[in-house]
Every structure is written in structure tokens, then in C-alpha cells.
Structure 1
Amino acid sequence: MRAARPSPGPPVANSRRERRIETIMDGDQVKAWEALCIEEQPPACSAACPLHVDARAMAEKMAAGDFTGAIALYARVVPFPAIVAHICEHPCETVCRRAEAGGAVRIGALERALVEEAYPTVRRSAQRARKPKAVAVVGAGLAGLTAAFDLVMKGHAVTVFEADAQPLDRLHRDYRPAVLPPSAIEADVGALIKLGVDIRCRQRIGGDASLSLDALIADHDAVLMASGPGPASAFAATLRLNASGRIEVDRETRATSHPKVFASGLHDGSEEGWSAIGSAADGRRAAGSIDRFLQGASLTASRGGEAAGSCLYVEVGSHAAMPPVEAADPAAGYGHAEAIAEAARCFPCHCLECVKACPYLAHYKTYPKRAVREIYNNDSIIMGNRKSNRMIDSCALCGLCETLCPNDLAMGEVCLDARRSMVERGHMPASHHDFALRDMAFSRSDEVAFIRHQPGHDRSAVLFFPGCQLPASAPRQVEAVYRHLSERLPGGVGFMLDCCGAPAHWSGRLALHREVLDHLRTVWEEQGRPRVVTACSTCLKQIGEFLPDIPVASLWTELVAVGLPDVVAPRPVAGPLAIHDPCTGRHAHAVQAAVRSIAASLGAEVRELTGAEKTTCCGYGGLASFANPEVGNAFVDRRIEESDDDYLAYCAMCRDNFARRGKRALHLIDLVFPDADDPAARPDPGFSGRRDNRQRLRRRLLRDLWGESMSDPVPIPLVMTDAVRADIERKLLLIDDIAEVIAEAERTGRALKDRASGHLTASGRIGTVTTWVEYQPTDAGFVVHRAYGHRMQVEVKP
């Protein structure tokens, strides 16, 4: 007899995941998850650029012909676009990932083409600081003027003191007009002056000059020394010098021994040769420190973004090689069309490996780091609407993202933790998973579930546990499997029809999941602690993960061990079969090998899809198809598109979902125990058919194998078109429930009649759902015209 179900007790804490289910989402865990996602890491080109120009975004805009947008982005980061575009050493190109597929993108040439065409459109305006400060900059080189630009843009009053006759005198001396046109210097310096920077040339500081450093310090809130790396003995009375006679400066903050004085322009002696872009970056770092100082903020905190380097993962192999565009006139550089073509060579660099493969993330147009934050915010709302509930419940928990992620970030773990947290606190709507949980309850009820020893045995060395879905899909083959195992395995083979509790686990119902696990353990112990053989990859994973004390094996490895039936009919399919591995068996390598071995031994020509490690979900995993049918269909449809071959599955839900979406598919059990001429054409039984199959299997086994008296129920004759059946299936309504509503209406006479059509409308509340049916009695039975359900309570007053 079936064991009585125990009341929920203490959690079964035998695995890492089970030990964690007491916890809910917390900020530290969320930060750890976010840190694993590298999508927001800069591309290699931006990381290598001392100014961190977003060359990826610039190229994307140029490729689209939006030069105005591109120059706006470029000028937002580069203080002197015309100058830098002409003389930048473009270190970005040395790390460009396109170099691995045809040659680096010529970013420097793109910048020059961009400036040539769109520079006149650059518009800038400085902020208005609430309390503007006065800053003196000594030196009008690239470092000093970059610092002046950044500080004036933040609203400070900036005065530049330059000993030479003109600003940027070094650029005038070192670059030929053909390389750096004087007009470019004039345009950028003129723009700086328009922003309000006061540049005073022929104004030396210190020594025998009329203006001393001490005077600058007294008259200004901060001073930047940017006059170059030469000796600074003139300032020794005010600033500490190093052994080389230069100003001693902190390399990270550009601070000096005087709290109001900062230094750039290579005073730290770290130069290996002057660099235009490096000099500008040096001035920017100093300006950042000065602004922090003027605001009373830390000079060292949160400066990670200034460092070079990126851990962004980019899959280059998926991009075809493409050589750089050659300019028709090399001296003039790229023309408009040439620049667009070259910019289009940018990949652009992104990770998004999980998004490319996951219909769930693609549907919500997000990536893990952003999704984790959204899920956490949704979970932590105290008052207000939780708008991401369906998003949280739409994840298939299939593990593909973790497999593909360079850092093993598992969105399934994030979503499952959120579900548990929200269910525990009553914030997750029951409607998303109600049908699946009711189906699980039905599979565990006395209408379906039972356990017996093998006829003629009083103990079981092995317990065959097919799961709840294969009996719902292929009940006759399940019986054939049991008969075969009973013949081949010694010591008695018991049979258990029940559910492993996966829907409770996936929905985040901790107490319900514990109840199922406790029941399974109790039954196993009552049966003498037998070895369990299951035909379901999800059951295999559930038992192995949450009940590790129970020895469990897959039916497919068992069949390899004990052998296939002595007489197996010729393979009832023609042509190759594309094999689909279930997502819950992603890492079950022994099972995967056994499945392929069995198929090959039966003469099947098996072709691989993406391979077992990268297999995709059919949409049933994580109950995604119940919470979000659109996402569920996207999962199975994407998999179907991978091959025109018939599919071979060894998960009942995968096979039935393929069939539901019109894909020819068969289950491995159809090859081992054939029951039809063309099993790949076997239709999806649907939810109502699945319930019927479970019940029929129970009655047939108990009657035929164990000799127990079983009576078949007399169904109410229902007549409906294929369209009505499909609509009922889509709405997750059960034919048994519809029949119950009609029977009650016929018994009580409580129904509304449409006089025009003669149709009757009746309703009945079954569980949490009120089912409404429009029907018509006929000689052939009750014709169902339509049906729908809702969860509102309808009060009937006498």
C-alpha cells in the first residue's frame, strides 16, 4: 500500500543548494552576482585609451552615418578633438580584437575623418558651480590645458599661466602642419577660451619672475603645476622635491607635499617618452584630484575607472575575417563613405554570450548584471508595485547561461532565490505556477500515485521510478520498461508512480518541496532502501541533489548494463535523428553516452545539435512556459530551428513540446520499445491527455500485474472542434474540469441559456479556478463551444 504522507518536517539538508534555501536575497549576494557579469566592462580599445574614449560607440554611430552623434560622443571625452584626432598615438588599435579577424579597426583614421567632417557641430557649455573655486594652472601644455578644460567644465574659475609666447608651443614646434594643422590648434584653444579659461602667456612663475608660487597659492583655492618634467629648484621652499630635483608627486592622485598644490606633466619621472594622449590623461587625473579636493572629498576612493585594462570576454571566432578599408587618397584620409565602411568593421565588442543563447534574456532585452539589479529591486520593494514578478518566473533555470558565462554566473540561481524570497513573504502571485502545482498534486494523489513490490516478491532490490511525465506521454512503453527490468534484474523490482517535486522546487515553494522530499525518503526507507532507477533526467537530478543518500541511476545507463530486449523491432523511423539532451541532464555525461550507445545499437543515425553541454531548454524547465508562454515557446522554437531532421529526445516533456510546436520528434523509449509505425508523428497528448494517461496506466498495472480490481470511469460525452480543444489547452483548462462543470449544471439546472443560440453557460469553482463553459446538449453528447477560467471569487447570494 501507498505510504501515508508525512507532515512537513525539518528541511532535508543534504546538499549545497538545500542548505541555502533558508536564505533570501541580500545585498551582498546581489553585489557578488553583479560582479560576475562582465558585459559592462569596457572594450579593449576603450580600456587601453588613456582618456577611455568609447571607440566602440563612436564606430557604431559612424557606421550608421551619424557623424554628428559620433563627434558629440568623442568630444564629451576628448578635450581637444581636432588636436587629439591628428596626433594621438592610438594605443587602442594595438589591442583591437578585430586584429584577430582581418586587421585592427583604424580608429585613428576614423577620428580624423570624424573631425574633418563634423567638428563644427561640437557644442559645449560649462556647468555653473554652486560655489565656484579659483584654480591656477602653471603651464599651457596638453596636460595643463586638459586640466583647465575639465575644471572649467565643472564650473571653476581657471587661469593658466604660460611662460612661452603661445599655448601648446610644443605642438607648434614638434608637428609639421601636414600632420597637425595650425588651424586645429587654434580651433581647440579658441573653444577653450570661449568656455571662460583665462590663458596668460609670457607669464613665468617662481625664481626671478614677478609672480611666485606662494602668491598663486594665496590667491587661489588650488594650484596645478603642469610646466613639464624639468628641475623645480625654484619651488623647493614650498614643495618637497625628489632626488632628481623634480616635484615629489603622488602617482595616483598627483598630490604634492602642499595640500593645495598638485602636479602633472610627468613630474613623477615615470615617462618613457612623451605621449600626446598620455599627457592629456595626466592632466585629467590631476583635474579629478583637484575637483575632489575643492569638494572636500577623498582623493583616493573609487578611482578604479581611471585604470587601464578590461576583462570583457569577446567571442572573435564567430566573426568573419575582413581587411581594413584602404583610403582612395591616403594623404587626405577616409572620405565619408570610406569612414562608414571602416567603422562597420567594428564587431562591436560585447560579451553577451548568455543573451545570444537565451530566449529569456533576449525577450526582456537585458543581460545578467542589469537583470540581477532589477530582480533585487523588485524583491526589496516595501511599498509599490512589483513589476518584475513575471520576469523572475520566466527563467527556465536551465543552466545554459552558467555554462556559457566566462565567470559561471547562473541567472537560474538568481531567479530561484528571488522566487523563494517572494513566495516566503507572500509577494509572488500564485497564478504563475498554479496549474503546474495542481498537476503535481494530481500526480501525487491517489488517482495516480502508487507503489508496489514486484508481483511474487515481498521486497525490492530495485525501485523503478519513471517519474510523472513519461507515464503521461508514453504509458504503454513505461509498462514495457517495467516488465523488461523485472525480467533482467534480480532481487525484485518495485514500481513507484509519483512525482519528484520539481515543480515545487522550481516555483520556490520551500515547504512544499520539503514535503515531497520527506515523502520520497519515507517511501524509500519503507521499501527497504532499494536502488532507484528513473527514466526522467529531472528526477535523476532532484534525487541526486536533494536526497543524496538514495542510490539512483538513469534508466538509460541501466539498459546498457542489463541489455536491451532480446527482440526489438527494426527502427520505426527513416533518416537521421538529431539528438536533443534535456537541460536537467546537461552534466550527466554517463547518461548522455548511454543514450547515444543505445541509439547506435538500434541502427539510428544520430546527429548532434549544439552538444549536450550547450543544450537548450524546451520551455518546461523552471515552469517558464506557465509563467510566460511566449518565452516558453521561444525556447522550443529556437531549438526546433536548429535542424530539419526528426528529433530524438529522452525527456518526455522535451519530446511533447517539440510535437506541440509541430516538430517531428520521438522519445528514445519509442526506439527501444516501439509502439507505433511512425512514433515521430505521435502528437502531444496535451494536459488533459497526460492526466488520462497517468490514470489509465495506474489502473492497467494494478489490474494486469497485481490483480487488483479496477473499474474504468464512464466519461461524460463531450464534443468539441480541434480549434476549441486548442483554445482550452492554451488557457490551461482541463477537459475533466469542463465535464465536471457541465455535469453539475445538468444535475442542478443552474445554467444561463442564450435564447438566440440555445447555448447554456455554467460555471464551477474547482480548486482556485472558476471555470466557465458555454455548451449545448445534443444526441451525440455535450458540444463545448468555448470555455475560460479566472481566479475571482463569485459570491452567490440566496
Structure 2
Amino acid sequence: MSGVDQKLLRQREAKCVQENPPGCTAACPVHVDVRGIVNAVRKGDYAAGFALLYRIIPFPGIISRICEQPCQQACKRNEVDEPIFIRALEKICVDNNTTIPKIMLPLPKKQKVAIVGAGLSGLTAAVELARKGYQVTVFEAADLLGGSIRKFPGNKLPLPVIEDDLARLQKLPLTIKAAMPVTRLDSLYPDFDAVYLATGNQAAYLQLDLQLDAAGMIIVEPLSLVTSNSKVFAGGSLRREANGYSAILSIADGKVAAISIDRLFQNASLTANRDTEGPFKSTLYTNIDDVKPEPMVCAAAADGGYTKEEAGAEAERCLLCQCLECVKVCEYLAHYRAYPKRYVREIYNNLSIVMGIHHANKMINSCSLCGLCEQVCPQKLNMGEVCQQARQMMVDKGKMPPSTHEFALQDMHFSNSDRCFLARHQPGFATSTVVFYPGCQLAASSPQYVSQAYQFLCEKMAGGVGLMLGCCGAPAKWAGQEQEYQETLRQIDQNWRELGSPRVITACPSCYSLFRHHVPDMAVESLWTVLDRIGLPAGAGAAGLGQKLAIHDSCTTRDEPELQNSVRSIMSKLGLQAEELPLNRDTTVCCGYGGLMIYANQEVAHKVIQRRIKESESDYLTYCVMCRDNFASQGKRVLYLLDVIFGSDANHLAAQAGPGYSARQENRARLKTTLLRAVWGEPGVEEAQAKFKVTIPEDVLRVMEERRILVDDVTRVIDHGETSGNKLKDPVRGHYIAYFQPANVTYWVEYLPQDDGFVVRNAYCHRLVITS
């Protein structure tokens, strides 16, 4: 993507259904916020519930007693038991409200509107237009306002309720002329700019100059209610006599007519973007898998009205329908307190900024790109895809903060440098039928398993087993550095072809996934499917025989059921009992490393880790070594699958923390040298001798890990300060302070000389580039 594609933006926004109304609100002809009212009843905040109802319904007392409740037909609880008694919850808010929300009126407008008929439809149109500032006159043939509502029996709709609702009309700038029938429609034209006919029936005394259908009914356009005269509108029971009276549909027509008349005065289209003004089917998804049947609360009162206690109980039955399927399972999405529709808009706005602060940068870079959101989303919206493309655009435009991914990218470069990279045929073979690619993280975390696994593969597989050490380029891909990623793949492809293009066996799930999808000519297989097929080493399983372990599936294997099955098969062969975590296989979660989350946002990454490791009290088993190390870093007892295959003490290994950043790089470099000497009889790469000894206390090492500062970084700072003399001395503590900036990162070290070198007291850094 070279720029912000508005069409793609709209498509992605549309996939998120969270902002779509619940079925009840969508089915309501005027879209009352049922969910909000129910929530208010739950809290006993009847004034808030009343305010929500009154915002949409100008006559809440009347409607809360006689509404036909079309909302109930769309209630999600119908799929479980019975719908919510919504009208009764509205009534409890009306009956217990003591405050009428204030109405802010705009400055008066010059246009005049005549309303013929003072039933619910006509009065609703009058209220809506008066609230917009138009001059409204209501003509009613009868002595009293209200029309058909006065036909309801008093036990269903008490007269005081009607009078209370109609009394609020006095607060609006309305002219009401009761007992004044309009006999000729055209008599209104000279004095009024628009007319709304809401007589309740087609009065015989009213002379019309409008087009009628074969049944003698006024022809109206259904979206706008406009008649054959562009300034005359008709609605309410007048246009649905055959279908009987509906209080809520009458109010709906009044609101539609008011919108149409407002559009008429503004010279706007009467029909554009009005498809969802009336009832429609909502696409909001609500998961009801765990909803238990619970019958509707029966009111004890004869009139069917609820007590506060009954209303509260009925409100608790409501599901408060919403989707949030992705937010429920993703700590990253939950952390920013919204949902994908808002995030997509925020990200695209962020990408559109030419000058100013890019507030969404951290959010964009914090996603693990794991794809779980797409897996659980009913519309398959993938926030990882959005964030990945956003990162690439930020990089292309030079807007990616250098601090975010630099450490991970430098670590990748180190893994692919001469100090760590290796590509060899098996000793005694000029070709390879397969090549083992363990990945940079296994080499960093447990290098001994690289040696042991390679030796076993050489013993079991014929035709020569090659070995390649290095990084697959995942950090560059995740960082949005597409050019660097492609260059890394190109180099891997070249080295692989020089070995004769053998089938690749990967230990790392990320390497496996990237090679499968981005190196089309490469045949690739996971170490786990290979071991499941060829068998396990003799004595494998001694580390954890008979244990029950909760298995964590790597997020990059989400769509690899064969690989996942092989892992479980290996567990069975090892005598291990597999406990399935709640989110597993295709709905598994990230460990906090994917997408470089741990580097971009440690707070979110730690939330991700903590949530995952609390899902079971059992020890965990992973088949990605980074998953193992991340869980172990937060105190979880966890084993890596090769711990069980090659290890000997499960209890010790499960409690063992992973190595720090400096040790990880040392392990990679040392692994290459060890293998060259032990397997190929070559001298390997000699480690450079340090100029001086650097002592770093444990508390300082922990700080360095948190700040991602390597021992080598500290050594270079001290060397720079001592050789250049560019250092300061703290006169109080006697510490020297020196800094060094090898690239974008500036490192600062506080240190003291000691007999045979230096002791470090503190280290910190800032990752930024100052541009003009």
C-alpha cells in the first residue's frame, strides 16, 4: 500500500460489527437504545433510563404502556428461552423518574410547517420540527389531543399518563389549534412551506389534491413519506388503515416526516442514506454459547408492571448484546479500551498525518500479528494485517520511530553475521537430501539441543543432513522492513540453493511458517512432524515421564493441524498426558514475542504472558523455545519439547529461566564455533579477547535486561570513555559517566575503576534520532 486507500478502509471498518445496534434496537422502528435502558435499570438509575427513552420517544409514558414491542421478536434471548420484557423496563424508568431532561432549542427559523392531526404521529412530527427551530402549527379536528390513544382502556393507559406526556408540549414553541378541522388541503399552501398529514384516517371532509391508489389511499414514497405534492407528506394510520393501529409505527412516521421536511428546507435529497431509519436486521454478532436458559420474570401486579426488584431481575436476563469476540481473547485489543472498527480508523488517521504527533504509533507496533482476531471474528477482520501494512507504510514514509524495533533488528543482523551464520553439508557428504534449520532463538536459548537434534537427524536420515544456522528474517518482516526482509530471504535462498536445494527441517514454528509462505520453491517440514515419523532418540522422555503438561500451541502454527497433531503424538510417545488449554490449536494465543510485541510494548506483552500462564496450574509444554522463555520469564514452570526429548531432570528444567540478551548472543556465536570444531574439525571463529575485565552486579544486569542493553554495549561505552577521555566524574559518588552512540542508540554507563578492570553501577540508553 503506497497510500491510505479509503475504499479498503471502509471495507475493513465494515467488517467490525461492534457498533451495529443490538437486534432489539434495530427492530425498533425508532431505534430506542434498549441496551442502555437495561443497563440503567440494572444500576437502579431510572433517570438515566428515562433520559435515553425520552431522547427518542417524545411521549415515553404512553409508549411504555402500549408499545407493540417489535423489539421482542429480535431479542437474542429468543434463541435460548424468552425475550426481555422491554416495555416493562421502560415503564419502570418512566414511573420512577423525577427529572425531565432540558431541551436546548436552536434559534428560530423562518420556515413554517402545518401538521394536520394531533395523534401520536402528528405530535411527534411537531415536536421534532420544533426542536429544530421551525415554526410549527398543529391543526386538530377534535377537542382533545392524542387521537387513537384515547381509545385505550384506563387500566392499560391511564388518563393521567396521557395528560403528563402531552403537558410537555407546552415547553415547546408550538401553536396548537384544537377543534379546528382543515377541510381543504390547498388552503394551507399560502401560509405554510410544508404540510404533514396525520389525520389517523382519510377524513371524508378533507378535500385533497393528491394522487390516490386504486383503493383510494394517498400514494406516498415509503422512505420519505412525500406525496405527489413535493411539499406535502403523509403518515401514521393514514397510510396503513388496513393494518390496524400501531403506536410505535405512528411515532416512527412522525419522525420520518420531520426528517424529510428538514431535508426539504435544506434542499437535500429526501431519500439518500435512509435505508436503516426504520426496522432492519442487525448484523451484530453476540455469542450465546454459554448463556443458560432463564425464563422471563413474571410481574406480581395485576397491570403487569414490574416492581424495582422484578425489573432488576429481568434486566439481569438481558445479554446487553455486543460482539467484542476479538477483544475478549486479545490483551492487546483490550489494552487500548476500544475495538477494531475504532482502531482501524485511528490507524488510518495516523498514517494520514503529514505534520504533528502520530499518537497511534505505539498501538500499531504493539500488535503481535498472530491472527487470533481473524480466527474468532464473525466477519474475519484481521487487525494484524492492518498493523502489518501500517508498519510497512510508516517505514516507507520514514515515519517509523527508530527506537521501536532496532534492538530486534540488530539481534537479527548478529544472527546472520559471520559470527553465527553457518551452512554446511554433513561431514563425508558432498550433497544434502535435507538441511536442519534450527532458527536463531533455539541457538540462543538452548544451543545444546541444536547439536543433539542435528546428531540424531544425521543418524536417522540417509543421503546427508546439512545444517544452516541463522535467522529467517521474521524480525524484519514484523517490523515492516519489507526490503530488509526480502534481502534476508534472498540470502537464505541463495545459501539453500548452494546446498543443492534440499528439503528444510525447521525447529522454529516461525521459520517454518515464513519459509512455507514466502519461499515458494522451498520444501519445508517441521522438526516435530519429522520426529513423529522417524521416531525419537533412545531414552527420550526420561525428563518428564508420566507428567501431565498443559500444551501451548505456537500462534504461527494456527493453521497447521498436522504439525499440532505430531506434537501431541510425540507427547503420547514420551508418556506425557496433554492438557488442552481453553484457547488452543487454531484459536491459540501469542506468547508476547510475535510481531516484536515484547520490544514495542512490554506492558502489553506482560499482560499477554500473565493471562496465558494463569489458564492452568499445570506445568506447560511449548514447542517454540521463545514461548518457553517468555513464560519462564514471568515465573511459570514450563518445558520446551526438546527439554523432554533430550533432557534428564524435568523438575529442574521446568523451573529454569531463559538466558538474558547478552547470553543469547554469546550462545549463538559459541554454537557455531563448537559445531565447527566438534562436527567438521575446523577451528571456528576465535572470540576477541577483552581489553579489560568488566564486573556487572546482578541488580545491574537485571536493569540492563529490562532496558535491552548488552554486556558488549556496556564494554564499548567504557572503552570509548577511557580511550577518548570523554567522560564525567560524579563528585559525590565518585562514579565516572560515559556515553557512546554506535548507531541510533545512545548508551550511558556509570562505572568505577577497580584493580583488574571496572565495575558497573548503572546503565541506561535512549533510542531516538534527532532530525532537523
Alignment partner of 1:614 out of 584, 587, 592? 587
Contact 2:130–2:172 (8 Å) recurs in 1? yes
Greater CA deviation, 152-161 or 780-789?
780-789
Aligned mates of 2:94, 2:725 — CA distance in 1: 83
What is the letter of the counterpart of residue 55 of structure 1?
V
2:549 corresponds in structure 1 to: 577
Deviation at 1:680, TM superposition (A): 1.0
Distance 1:521 1:780, change over 3 A: same
1:477 corresponds in structure 2 to: 449
Structure 2 counterparts to residues 680-691 of structure 1, below 5 A: 680-691=654-665
Deviation at 1:333, TM superposition (A): 2.4
| 1:259 has 2:237 as partner | no
1:48 corresponds in structure 2 to: 27
Contact 2:748–2:764 (8 Å) recurs in 1? yes
What is the letter of the counterpart of residue 314 of structure 2?
E
| 1:163 has 2:141 as partner | yes
Aligned mates of 1:102, 1:330 — CA distance in 2: 24
Aligned mates of 1:485, 1:297 — CA distance in 2: 75
1:311 corresponds in structure 2 to: 283
Structure 2 counterparts to residues 331-370 of structure 1, below 5 A: 331=303, 333-370=305-342
1:595 corresponds in structure 2 to: 567
1:9 corresponds in structure 2 to: none
| 1:215 has 2:187 as partner | yes
Deviation at 1:692, TM superposition (A): 1.2
Alignment partner of 1:296 out of 252, 267, 287? 267
Contact 1:472–1:693 (8 Å) recurs in 2? yes
Aligned mates of 1:302, 1:162 — CA distance in 2: 33
Contact 1:24–1:420 (8 Å) recurs in 2? no
Deviations 1:577-624 (A, max 9, x none): 000011111111111001110111000111000221111111111111
Aligned mates of 1:260, 1:543 — CA distance in 2: 67
Distance 1:756 1:648, change over 3 A: same
Aligned mates of 1:656, 1:575 — CA distance in 2: 20
Contact 1:313–1:406 (8 Å) recurs in 2? yes
1:125 corresponds in structure 2 to: 103
Deviations 1:611-659 (A, max 9, x none): 2111111111111111111011111111011011111001111100001
Q: Secondary structure at the match of 2:312?
A: helix
Deviation at 1:406, TM superposition (A): 0.1
Greater CA deviation, 645-654 or 88-97?
88-97
Deviations 1:93-123 (A, max 9, x none): 23222344564322111111111110x4113
Deviations 1:688-736 (A, max 9, x none): 1111111111110011111111334545544333322211100010012
Report sequence identity in percent.
Answer: 46
Structure 2 counterparts to residues 348-497 of structure 1, below 5 A: 348-497=320-469
Distance 1:229 1:347, change over 3 A: same
Aligned mates of 1:239, 1:417 — CA distance in 2: 57
Distance 1:525 1:105, change over 3 A: same
Contact 2:201–2:241 (8 Å) recurs in 1? no
Aligned mates of 1:735, 1:558 — CA distance in 2: 38
Q: Secondary structure at the match of 1:220?
A: coil
2:54 corresponds in structure 1 to: 75
| 1:625 has 2:601 as partner | no
Deviations 1:194-229 (A, max 9, x none): 3122222222223xxxxx211112221011111134
What is the letter of the counterpart of residue 59 of structure 1?
V
2:161 corresponds in structure 1 to: 184
Contact 2:541–2:575 (8 Å) recurs in 1? no
Aligned mates of 1:757, 1:137 — CA distance in 2: 86
Contact 2:416–2:471 (8 Å) recurs in 1? yes
Structure 2 counterparts to residues 521-670 of structure 1, below 5 A: 521-572=493-544, 575-609=547-581, 610-670=583-643
Deviation at 1:749, TM superposition (A): 5.5
1:704 corresponds in structure 2 to: 678
Aligned mates of 2:595, 2:449 — CA distance in 1: 26
Alpha-carbon RMSD: 2.1
Aligned mates of 1:398, 1:719 — CA distance in 2: 40
Aligned mates of 2:265, 2:732 — CA distance in 1: 83
Distance 1:137 1:567, change over 3 A: same
Deviation at 1:320, TM superposition (A): 4.3
Aligned mates of 1:377, 1:314 — CA distance in 2: 29
Higher relative contact order by CA 8 Å / sep ≥ 6: 1 or 2?
Answer: 1
Aligned mates of 2:242, 2:696 — CA distance in 1: 84
Deviations 1:518-542 (A, max 9, x none): 1122222222111111111111111
Deviations 1:73-105 (A, max 9, x none): 110001111111111112222322234456432
Greater CA deviation, 281-290 or 339-348?
339-348
| 1:738 has 2:714 as partner | yes
Deviation at 1:470, TM superposition (A): 1.0
Aligned mates of 1:270, 1:393 — CA distance in 2: 60
| 1:113 has 2:89 as partner | no
Aligned mates of 1:452, 1:515 — CA distance in 2: 21
Deviation at 1:322, TM superposition (A): 4.0
2:244 corresponds in structure 1 to: 273
Deviation at 1:770, TM superposition (A): 2.1
Aligned mates of 1:792, 1:255 — CA distance in 2: 63
- TM-score (normalizing by structure 1): 0.92
2:764 corresponds in structure 1 to: 788
Q: Secondary structure at the match of 1:528?
A: coil
Q: Secondary structure at the match of 2:621?
A: strand
- TM-score (normalizing by structure 2): 0.95
Q: Secondary structure at the match of 1:317?
A: coil
Structure 1's unaligned 5+ residue stretches are 1-21, 207-211
Deviation at 1:345, TM superposition (A): 3.0
Contact 2:402–2:767 (8 Å) recurs in 1? no
Greater CA deviation, 595-604 or 333-342?
333-342
Deviation at 1:773, TM superposition (A): 1.6
Deviations 1:251-290 (A, max 9, x none): 1211111111111024444853321111111221122211
1:38 corresponds in structure 2 to: 17
Deviation at 1:24, TM superposition (A): 3.9
Distance 1:179 1:589, change over 3 A: same
What is the letter of the counterpart of residue 377 of structure 1?
N
Contact 2:27–2:281 (8 Å) recurs in 1? yes
| 1:247 has 2:224 as partner | no
Q: Secondary structure at the match of 1:155?
A: coil
Q: Secondary structure at the match of 1:28?
A: helix
Aligned mates of 2:544, 2:318 — CA distance in 1: 50
Deviation at 1:132, TM superposition (A): 3.3
1:763 corresponds in structure 2 to: 739
Aligned mates of 2:364, 2:479 — CA distance in 1: 10
Alignment partner of 2:256 out of 280, 285, 291? 285
Aligned mates of 1:705, 1:73 — CA distance in 2: 76
Contact 1:24–1:417 (8 Å) recurs in 2? no
2:124 corresponds in structure 1 to: 146
Deviation at 1:573, TM superposition (A): 6.0
